[in-house]
């Protein structure tokens, strides 16, 4: 037996990988990542990582990491200045207000801890910031504007 017969044919893929259709053409390769279609809209079950979503996630992660809210507000101010869709602009205004509400509320709460009122006020500020971030996340995934971006409450 010759050496080439032992190794087999090394030209191209093996026959089991090149299934041919009835016309003799190879089937088209599947799209990368296994996703069907080429539309720009995300699938119903996918998570759209758009800019307002990134800022909201940075705010939420600041409860664990501490400083990511500063990165989030800087990004919100930068991205707000760029020309974006109307729904994104309302999110940036809402998220910038959320940052300032959280910062001012936290500072006031820490000072009022001397009077023991701050121990009640700080959890309320945290809940308010989390609710505002979650509302922004929900609307950003739907690509809908915030209903009242200038509000100071949820």
CA distance 131 to 154: 7
pLDDT at site 136: 95
pLDDT at site 37: 44
CA distance 84 to 95: 15
Report residue 44 CA to chain centroid gap.
15
CA distance 139 to 128: 17
CA distance 108 to 103: 9
Predicted confidence band of residue 39 (pLDDT cuts 50, 70, 90): very low
Of 51, 123, 115, 125, the C-alpha closest to 88 is 51
| Angle formed at CA 108 by CA 103 and CA 109, multiple of 5 degrees | 95
Of the candidate ranges 5-14, 76-85, 114-123, 145-154, the one whose mean pLDDT is the lowest: 5-14
């Amino acid at each position: 037996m010759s050496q080439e017969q032992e190794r087999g044919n090394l030209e191209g893929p093996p026959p089991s990988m090149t299934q041919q259709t009835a016309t003799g053409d190879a089937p088209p390769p599947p799209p990368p990542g296994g996703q069907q279609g080429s539309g720009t809209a995300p699938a119903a079950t996918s998570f759209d990582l758009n800019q307002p979503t990134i800022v909201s996630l940075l705010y939420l992660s600041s409860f664990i990491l501490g400083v990511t809210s500063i990165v989030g507000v800087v990004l919100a101010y930068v991205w707000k200045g760029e020309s974006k869709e109307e729904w994104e602009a309302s999110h940036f205004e809402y998220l910038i207000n959320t940052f300032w509400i959280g910062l001012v509320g936290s500072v006031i709460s820490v000072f009022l801890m001397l009077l023991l009122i701050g121990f009640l006020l700080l959890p309320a500020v945290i809940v308010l910031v989390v609710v505002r971030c979650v509302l922004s996340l929900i609307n950003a995934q739907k690509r809908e504007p915030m209903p009242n971006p200038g509000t100071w409450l949820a």
